[in-house]
Amino acid sequence: MARVILASASPRRRQLLREAGIEFEVHVSGVDESHGHSSEPESVAEELARRKAMSVAASFRGQDALCLGADTVVAIPTEEGWRYLGKPADAQEARSMLSLLSGTRHAVVTGVCVIRCVDQEPYGGSERTTVVMRTISEEEIEAYVESCEWEDKAGGYAIQESADAFVIGLEGGGFDNVVGLPVDLAKRLLEAAGG
């Protein structure tokens, strides 16, 4: 199998790939993660994943390697369109995000892109999970913010840690997608690219 290069610093994505038995090395991308807020979540997540994978794959052009990029977005439907929640900059923003998510059905979409480095051919897709979150009390929000689990997490929460207590249901996609990488989709794309 070709070398697999993960274009992500995410420890959660590393763990999911290890658990899936996929050997890989890490080369972090560092691309701009800004996007058009009017787009559908799938378009946003897939474009960001493609940018990450392409920026790293360019360094391995012509080699027998597969570069895997991924990006997870958290989006709340509003009358004006989708509202995106990125990674909170500080505790106050984490507090605000959790208050916004409390009692909602929101989308968590992970885009995945695999670039075949030998010819820079991209293979991409995404998975959406609707997360049903119960109403969270102010005390619970405060305790969660103090735990610092929100740091470096899109939407300000980590379902694989104590925030699973706020979630009452997942619809249409897997738990691993909400954590940050739909493993079956990643495997299919790696296979399609020749892995």
Candidates 168, 44, 167, 164; CA nearest to 109 is 44
Is residue 71 annotated as part of the catalytic site, yes or no? yes
Rounded to an integer, what distance in angstroms lies between the CA atom of residue 115 and that of residue 148?
34
Residues with Cβ within 8 Å of 2's Cβ and at least 6 positions away in sequence, in order, are 64, 65, 66, 116, 117, 193, 194, 195
How do beta strands 25-26 and 3-6 pair? parallel
Rounded to an integer, what distance in angstroms lies between the CA atom of residue 170 and that of residue 172?
7
71, 90, 119, 164: the catalytic one is 71
Rounded to an integer, what distance in angstroms lies between the CA atom of residue 192 and that of residue 114?
9
**Sign of the torsion formed by the C-alpha atoms of 184, 9, 56 and 34:** positive
The set of catalytic residues is 71
